[in-house]
Amino acid sequence: QVQLVESGGGLVQAGGSLRLSCATSGRTFSAYNAAWFRRAPGNERKFVAAIDWTGGGTNYADSVKGRFSISRDNDKSTLYLQMNSLKPEDTAVYYCAASGRAMATKQYEYSYWGQGTQVTVSS
């Protein structure tokens, strides 16, 4: 089992930046591939970014490519999402996930989930 806890969400103006963190505990985080998903109001949860267990491989949704950066620190058992040039359409609850196939983009491919952190981008 891996426990995941997101933090770093908040209210930011369009064009601003936020850095989300996902602290993990339980089984060795470094053994797992990981990802970020988000759920906007009224929508289903969607893929944002993924990273393999080494940190050397990443994958991004087209909507965030060039603006968001996923990374991990296996020594600290923590996953990150740096979000720059934020837009109002990035407003959502952001979830971290672990396990699954490397760079997987489907929810069902991940076994462990955090509770989410709210990101609100004002125009």
Average pLDDT for 18-38: 92
Average pLDDT for 113-122: 98
Amino acid letter, 80 = Y
Instruction: Read off the pLDDT band of 28 (50, 70, 90).
Output: confident
pLDDT at res. 29: 86
CA nearest to 21, candidates 5, 37, 32, 33? 5
Tokens found for residue 14? 């369009």
pLDDT tens for 44-80 read 999 999 999 999 999 999 999 999 999 999 999 999 9
Instruction: Read off the pLDDT band of 27 (50, 70, 90).
Output: confident
Tokens found for residue 24? 């993990």
* Percent of the chain's residues with pLDDT above 90: 88
Task: Give the side-chain half-sphere CA count within 13 A for 21.
Answer: 9
56-72 per-residue burial string, b: 16 or more CB within 10 A, e: under 16: eeebbbeebeeebbbeb
Mean pLDDT over the full length of the chain: 95
